Amino acid sequence: MIKIKLNNREIITEAGKTILEVAQENGIKIPTLCHDPELQPYGSCWVCAVEVKGARGFVTACGTRVSDGMEVQTDTKEVHAARKMALELLVSDHYADCEAPCSVACPDHVDIQTYVAHIANGDYHEAVRVIKEKLPMPLSIGRVCPAFCESECRRKIVDEPIAIRQLKRHAADFDLDDYWTYVPEKMPETGNKVAIVGAGPSGLTCGYYLSNEGHDVTVFEASPKAGGWLRYGIPEYRLPKAILDKEIELMCANGMEIKYNVKIGEEITMQQLCTEYDAVYLALGAQNAVPMRVTGADLNGVLLGVDFLKDFVLGKEINVGKKVAIIGGGNTAVDCARTSRRLGADVTIVYRRTRKEMPAEEYEVDAADEEGIKFYMLTNPVEFLGEDGQLKKVKFEKMELGEPDSSGRRRPVPTGEYFEEEFDTVIAAISQAPDVDFFAKEENYVDGRQMPLTRWQTAEVDENTMYLGYGNVFAGGDFRRGPATAIEAIADGRIAFEQIDRYLMGLEIEADKPKFDSKKEKKLADVSPEEYEQYEKKPRAKMPELEAEVRATNFEEVETGFVDEDARAEAERCLECGCQVNSSCVLRQYCTDYEVDVDLFAGSKNKHPIDHSHPFILRDANKCVNCGRCIRTCSEIQGAGVLGYIFRGFSSLVAPEFGESLTYTTCESCGKCVAVCPVGALTERQVNYKLHPHPGEKFIQSCGNCGVGCTIEVNTQVDRVAFIQTPEEEGFNGRNLCFKGRFGWQVFEDDEKLTEPLLRKDGKYEPISWIDAMEVLRENLEKAENRSIYISADTTNEEMLLMQEVAMNIEAEIGSMSLIPDFTDDIVMYHRYRKSFTEMDDAEAIVIVGEVSHTLRTLARTQQRKGKKLILINNSDADFNNFADAHIKGEDFDKALDGLCQNNCCCDDCHCGGSDKIELDLPNRTLFFYDRTELGEDVIHKIWTVATATCSFGKGSGVIPTSKWMNLNGLIRLGFQPMPAIQADFVILYGESPDAEQQKALEGSGFTVSVHTHHVYDADLILPQASYLETEGSVFADDHRLNYFYNPKDSSLFDEMVELFADLLIIPEAHGEKSYWLGRTRYVQETEPQIPIEAKELHEWLANLTDLSTCPMQVNTGKLSRIMKLKKETEQER
Amino acid sequence: MSQLMIKVGMASCGVAAGAGDVWKAIEEYMANNAPDVTLEKTGCIGMCSYEPLVEMKSAGKDMITYGNITAEEVITAIEAHLNNDAEKLESVAKRIIPRVETLDKQSRIVLRNTGIIDPTSIDEYLANDGYKALEKALKNMTREQVIDEIKASGLRGRGGAGFPTGLKWQFAYQAKDDKKYIVCNADEGDPGAFMDRSVLEGDPHSVIEGMIIGAYAIGADEGYIYCRAEYPMAIRHLLIALEAAEKLGYLGKNIMGTGYNFELHIKEGAGAFVCGEETALMASIEGKRGMPRIRPPFPAQSGLWGHPTNINNVETFANIAWIINNGAAKYASLGTEKSKGTKVFALAGKIKHAGLVEVPMGTPLRDVIYEVGGGMLTEKPFKAVQLGGPSGGCVPKELLDTIVDYDSITKTGAIMGSGGMVVMDESTCMVDIAKFFLNFTQNESCGKCTFCRVGTKRMLEILQRITEGKGEMEDIDKLYELSENIRKTSLCGLGQTAPNPVLTTLRYFKHEYIAHIQDKKCPAGACQALIKFEIDPDKCVGCTLCARRCPVNAITGTVKQPHVIDQDACIGCGACEAACKFGAVIKS
């Protein structure tokens, strides 16, 4: 033990530990990017810099071992500054977006990338759920939003932006029209009362979220209906009132109440609101039209845009005559023009600048143009001329463009050139302002003070919190911003909700500290197009519209909506700019913690195209921080060594050999590089559907790809598996998974995975319902005189028990066609031989014969790095063999093992006649591993013989057979016996995939049923088997752990199966629930004899075994070949 | 003895200057005329600016050294010497260089044979006390005695850091392992440095002998010379030397019958500057990417393939045999209190006698430059001398009396380094020179440490901005902040010293930085972006020559009328200024 000083505190610790370890043990957090607990200290990122007294400069906490008397400072100003600079330098060359630029551009920061991904995957309800986390009005906003998001969409660099607004509408329409529509769960009532003034988008949004949180919300609306500008400003042909009504109805589902025709300052005062309610949100809008200061503005026939649109909605009689001039270039002007056009008028839009400068959305202007509306550009009205108080003519002046003004647009300058034209009506749509006169009255004061207003008559509140600064009043929307868009009003409403909620909960009103956000560039225009050349051009889906001639004469909705296919294809175009790991990225977290200034060291950046070439691993070198964890893990632990550094200096880069694609290397797709990457440079890739960064649900359970039974964390998004990782609380496998575990599961998610029963009719398979399947089964069961059931080891204990009971009740023979017995079955069954994988910790040497799970291989390697011996016996040329302390190759395993036998046998008349003596000094604590589905029984026998001579079979000593089956031990422990394939009148193959010979033997059977995840056998009836991702159940792993599956996909396949047999009345009704079978497994396990075999007994038993005849090599072809096929296909596709 | 002895400097520097042609001409002359002449080649004679160099010694007379001599002139000279032809002698007299001028101030230990013997002949090495030290060490001295002798000599590592060699050997000697290595770092990569190359080319055996003695001392039986592949002649001479030494039993099994075995390999480097750093060098020998690693463990505990390893550079090893032969006391009598012996420098830049020199420690820089180096090359006054290559710094004229000694030089902010010495005059812009060296380190960073990889790039970008007149005063603060942290947070010397050129120029020439930033002017007139060329209409006669010479057609005007330079189009190349015969183009 040594004594050190850590931040002036004396600490007793062990020598040899690193500063990082000691700090962690003492609750001091030191950031690090390059350090990995499985690897040797590396010290490249310098984010862990600390001060050690007497050392030159800083030292790395990860790479410096403590020594007696060492004085360490982890928290000084200098250390903080150095770490901050390290992070600033790293992000100065981080050509990547944390958040998708569309989402950043959206005033309400809706998680666009996620909902677009959901749409691409066809999950519309889920898309709506994500939208409504921030934006509760997708039906309306999906129709009217100017789509700030699309202007920053990176797809624009390739071809055209994603049609984000239209996609939102598509999802919302689907959600509305479906038999079920999304409404968020309502939280328990809080008893707080909130008043909201104004039922426009801002007020409704605030009220919606507050009511979801359980607050009692009352909205006061001056008009007879809700919706604000969406109702009274936006014309029917853009947003049908019926849709708006439905949207508002949905928003009120959690109890928000709207009181109509209540005008603040008239029917109710501010003081009343402030005292009767716990909080008040003012979202009055900006509804007063700003009149034109032109002579003759008071004439009849001169209207104001806002009033015109509102009167029209209210059904007031409006006669605009034959010729209408609209003054202004904004959205209101265009809405007035298109409305007038629909009233049959000849319409001209008069605007003082050019069409390019018009603030209205381009597509709106185009639509007006298509509908036959005329444009007078660079024209300004100077006088309205009338007769008898009625407008007759308008005098215009021609304008020209001068220098840019403060808004950046070129200022219109009068030319002195005039002309006159006759008009029946002029509608001025210049600007709007809130109606605020009532605030002057004392009864509307807040806390005895008059509401502070800006010179534009808007509310003066904190833009980050919407809070007035005193009292219980918040304000937002157009009332705060002046006339703006609905999405901006919604953004204010949501911020107001968050802060009111905090206020009501007694928390301080303050905006959250912003999260660090890396951006490729601040503006889309600055993003270099080169890295986007790899993407194929695909034009943006065009929103179908009514024909221009048709729509100009009525108020039908112009946009008719996408068809499903187009919507999904459009969403598929999304480039997924936001980082996949933006919520778990360590770099982002540190940058946020250290309040990094990303611009401080701005300079040139290394830019690379994103590498999509590998079927499962996405490599984005732009995000790499050169920590080398992937390189070191791959070469030092996994063995493949396919990653390395290339180039030097600022350009140095982590890449596969020669900078080529990973697919050209010997990469085994174990995905460990993804697991160790601290940033998003290496992430999982999905071949079946689009991933997104939104956190989903996590299920920690066992992997079902083989008998090793690794602990996995299944991350699902909408009952789909998104990716599989290892959980933070690691299982025995640590962060290790093999290819099958990490990526191979995708075969259970692809199109070929069966999800419904298939019946063969005239040689073809047709999907049928479970009820129909039951009828077919009943019919054929009755006919059959003899029955047999085959079950494989790729089934859960519950499935095995279920089939055992079924067999008993229908008097069927039951056994396994795929189980090839070997002598070790007896030890498992009768001798209670239990060896755990964790015994590797106690072993001194590990011998692996043949190929075993790569995870086990990696774990053995990890043990080797702790000083143990690793011996490999195989004929492969895998890179991993280079690690072996001894790699024994022979023409076959036999010879190698014979060699071992010879060396280890204590008997004089050694039965194994190996020629070359192999010098292997194996310690008593040696663990042998092999895969029984790979080796013949004779080889297995030799392994056990060697082990008998070597091992004591105590802890860390002995043999652990593994298998490619997920539940071989279950099959053996539940007493199933091998049963050869023979024809019968009625045959069920459960999880079995018969080979050609077995299929031949089954030919001529009466009725065959295949229960399997995939279509592997042409049975008469095929029932879909639940994969390990779709079932709740248990299996016995190779080392006899009882492992569980928790049905991460929330599938009902196993329930259907159980019900099927219950409905057939071949199991009791009470057994028709899956919970019964889960209980039964527990019972079986609990009642199994628990006395383990003693080493001496085992030795005796093994010694008494006589030589066994040679068995043919067995390979579990079914699952493995499908997974390999998938890998090949995806590679070919690329 | 022949009537005439001729030696030609055939090191890379000589060959590059045309020594090959001279050599061929002499050979041809000898083949045709069969005179009584002995012709020999030798290594770097040290006066590189005078290459090709030929030394001629007529029997009974003093040696004469010819410099910058052509193939034609050398024949004339030979004939002159052979026939004592005064007329011919007169015609080549202008090529004679007064050798005394450069050699007087030197004292040559490392370079004791370089430029004197034929490096490809072990006999010549043996004739100059070669392998006597090895014999003495192996036969008469214990390992401890050898180490003590080296410790007593005060020899410090000549690679740059100046760690006491004897102490280093002692660490490796004390490390317990059956297998130990000794490595010679011959990965000389500093711009402007060629000391190691010259020694390897000119006297390879001295390095080999030093290594064997070192190996014996620490108990190593295997060694590597890590030599950059860009030094083909050095490698060739080493290979010849290794073979010869092995043949005569100085290398291999049972050396000189003492039972001591030592095997020596040559490993060619792939040209990464960082491989001169010891941990990166070892990674490179092991076949990995040359990247430094965390120390401790130091190589003396865990080096090549995990075994104790001692690494010294070429110049250090070249000292060893001399020390053993002449005794530590004699070596220690040279130099200063803390820096003993001599130091080899490669003089380059704006200096009259550019070349290789060896001076006793303690010699003032002024003497090295003005006496040994012959002073400035042109009329332009001295501005600064850059010491230590990219890890070093610039010493201004005010500090010219600084003596050559590890600690004195470190005090100036520069470092002794391996011995590169670049002399600069007033036409050198100090911001530009900092940029040059930083650009070098930036490109040569292995890319591992964040600060070195990205920080040096950001510093370089700031310097780039400043030399383009786009700098801001805050940039100077940023340079300081970055320098400070890069210095303190890099695993190896490359990163730790990368900011030195910037820090020393900021220390002594901050006003130049400020001039670039505030006045948008380069005081040395070197930064092209800040140079402005204008035509004085009073002097311009409209000859159109400047317009025709301008590579970017930035000059317009009609014949016989004053011309005008379009400042937006001008790239500041100065072609117009050079072209104008009337002095009408004014540079500012």
Please calculate the CA angle B313-B319-B322 and round it to the nearest 5 degrees. Answer: 160
pLDDT band of residue A905 (cuts 50, 70, 90) is very low
DSSP E strand stretches across A47-189: 49-52, 59-60, 71-73
Nearest to B294 among A41, A86, A600 (CB): A41
Structure tokens at B531: 């140079």
Structure confidence at residue A897 (pLDDT)? 65
* Chain B closest-CA separation from residue A650 CA (Å): 5
Over residues A29-36, the mean pLDDT reads 96
Nearest to A85 among B293, B294, B485 (CB): B485
CB contact, 8 Å: A93 with chain B?
yes
**In chain A, which residues have their Cβ closer than 8 Å to the Cβ of B446?**
645, 648, 652
Structure confidence at residue A934 (pLDDT)? 86
pLDDT in tens, A42-79: 999 999 999 999 998 999 999 999 999 999 999 999 99
pLDDT in tens, A189-215: 999 999 999 999 999 999 999 999 999
pLDDT in tens, A605-639: 999 999 999 999 999 999 999 999 999 999 999 98
C-alpha B340/C-alpha B237 separation (Å) is 29
Structure confidence at residue A405 (pLDDT)? 78
C-alpha A929/C-alpha A850 separation (Å) is 9
Find the range with the poorest average confidence among A471-475, A554-558, A604-608.
A554-558
Whether the CB-CB separation of A249 and A395 falls below 8 Å is answered with no
Helix ranges, A137-189 (H): 138-144, 148-151, 155-158, 164-177
C-alpha of B353 from chain center: 14
Q: What are phi and psi of A562, to 5 degrees?
A: -75, 155
**Amino acid at position A1036, single letter:** F
DSSP E strand stretches across A318-372: 323-327, 346-350
CB contact, 8 Å: A92 with chain B?
yes
pLDDT higher for A1133 or A567?
Answer: A567
Burial class (CB in 10 A: 0-12, 13-18, 19+), B161: middle
- Cβ separation B454–A63 shorter than 8 A: no
Picking from A120, A109, A165, the residue whose alpha carbon sits closest to that of residue A139 is A165
Dihedral-angle region of residue A698 (phi above 0 means left; psi in -120 to 50 means alpha; beta otherwise): beta
The list of chain B residues with pLDDT below 70 reads: 1, 99-104
pLDDT higher for A855 or A404?
Answer: A855
Structure confidence at residue A909 (pLDDT)? 43
Structure confidence at residue A829 (pLDDT)? 67
| Pairing relationship of beta strands A302-304 and A425-428 according to DSSP bridges | parallel
Structure confidence at residue A907 (pLDDT)? 40
Taking only residues 632 to 661 of chain A, the set having a beta carbon closer than 8 angstroms to any beta carbon of chain B reads 644-645, 647-653
| Pairing relationship of beta strands A432-433 and A288-289 according to DSSP bridges | antiparallel
Structure tokens at A1031: 């079932």
C-alpha B315/C-alpha B345 separation (Å) is 11
Structure confidence at residue A256 (pLDDT)? 96
Share of chain A above pLDDT 90, in %: 68
Whether the CB-CB separation of A886 and A871 falls below 8 Å is answered with yes
Dihedral-angle region of residue A330 (phi above 0 means left; psi in -120 to 50 means alpha; beta otherwise): beta
Structure confidence at residue A433 (pLDDT)? 85
**In chain A, which residues have their Cβ closer than 8 Å to the Cβ of B442?**
649-650
Structure tokens at B254: 């049972």
**Amino acid at position A33, single letter:** L
Please calculate the CA angle B233-B238-B241 and round it to the nearest 5 degrees. Answer: 125
* DSSP secondary structure of A473-527: EEE-THHHHSS--HHHHHHHHHHHHHHHHHHHTT----PPPPPP---S-SSGGGS
Whether the CB-CB separation of A784 and A986 falls below 8 Å is answered with yes
Structure confidence at residue A1116 (pLDDT)? 32
Picking from A942, A931, A961, the residue whose alpha carbon sits closest to that of residue A898 is A942
In this predicted structure, the answer to whether residue A225 has a pLDDT above a threshold of 70 is yes
Q: What are phi and psi of B406, to 5 degrees?
A: -50, -50
**In chain A, which residues have their Cβ closer than 8 Å to the Cβ of B496?**
56-57
Structure confidence at residue B89 (pLDDT)? 86
Over residues A930-942, the mean pLDDT reads 85
Nearest to B489 among A58, A625, A652 (CB): A58
Dihedral-angle region of residue B370 (phi above 0 means left; psi in -120 to 50 means alpha; beta otherwise): alpha
Burial class (CB in 10 A: 0-12, 13-18, 19+), A167: buried
- CA dist A1117 to A703, A799, A993, A1114, A1123, Å? 19, 21, 9, 9, 10
* Chain A closest-CA separation from residue B193 CA (Å): 21
* Chain A closest-CA separation from residue B303 CA (Å): 16
Q: For helices B143-153 and B204-218, what crossing angle results, to 10°?
A: 120
Helix ranges, B34-113 (H): 71-83, 86-92, 100-103
Q: What residue in A sits closest to B474 (Cα-Cα)?
A: A600
Whether the CB-CB separation of A335 and A233 falls below 8 Å is answered with yes
Task: Tell whether the torsion through CA atoms of B424, B426, B430 and B433 is positive or negative.
Answer: negative
Strand order in A845-849's β-sheet? Answer: A886-888, A869-873, A845-849, A926-931, A958-962
Q: What is the mean pLDDT of chain A?
A: 89
- Cβ separation B448–A44 shorter than 8 A: yes
C-alpha A82/C-alpha A32 separation (Å) is 13
Q: What residue in B sits closest to A49 (Cα-Cα)?
A: B489
Over residues A104-124, the mean pLDDT reads 95
Whether the CB-CB separation of A530 and A483 falls below 8 Å is answered with no
Cis preceding linkage at B52, omega within 30: yes
Strand order in A71-73's β-sheet? Answer: A9-13, A2-6, A71-73, A49-52, A59-60
pLDDT in tens, B267-284: 999 888 999 999 999 999
In this predicted structure, the answer to whether residue A1132 has a pLDDT above a threshold of 80 is no
CB-hemisphere CA count at 13 Å for A135?
A: 28
Structure confidence at residue A556 (pLDDT)? 86
C-alpha B172/C-alpha B278 separation (Å) is 14
User: Which residues does B468 contact at the CB level (< 8 Å), separation at least 6?
Assistant: B527, B529, B530
In this structure, chain B runs to a length of: 588
Taking only residues 48 to 87 of chain A, the set having a beta carbon closer than 8 angstroms to any beta carbon of chain B reads 49, 56-58, 60, 63-65, 81-82, 85-86
C-alpha B502/C-alpha A138 separation (Å) is 58
User: Which residues does A866 contact at the CB level (< 8 Å), separation at least 6?
Assistant: none
C-alpha A1036/C-alpha A931 separation (Å) is 16
Structure confidence at residue A891 (pLDDT)? 60
Rounded to the nearest 5 percent, the helix, strand and coil shares of chain A are 35, 20, 45
The neighbouring-strand residues paired with A814 are A789
Does this complex have an ipTM over 0.95?
no
Nearest to B488 among A41, A45, A57 (CB): A57
- Cβ separation B444–A604 shorter than 8 A: no
Q: What residue in B sits closest to A625 (Cα-Cα)?
A: B450
Dihedral-angle region of residue B157 (phi above 0 means left; psi in -120 to 50 means alpha; beta otherwise): beta
pLDDT in tens, A788-816: 999 999 999 999 999 999 999 999 999 99
Whether the CB-CB separation of A615 and A658 falls below 8 Å is answered with no
pLDDT in tens, A3-27: 999 999 999 999 989 999 999 999 9
**In chain B, which residues have their Cβ closer than 8 Å to the Cβ of A93?**
454, 457
Structure tokens at A776: 């077919």
Over residues A277-283, the mean pLDDT reads 96
Q: What residue in A sits closest to B450 (Cα-Cα)?
A: A45
pLDDT in tens, A965-1013: 999 999 998 989 999 999 999 999 999 999 999 999 999 999 999 999 9
C-alpha of B241 from chain center: 23
pLDDT in tens, A878-894: 889 999 988 888 665 66
Size of interface A-B (CB pairs under 8 A): 108
Structure confidence at residue A577 (pLDDT)? 94
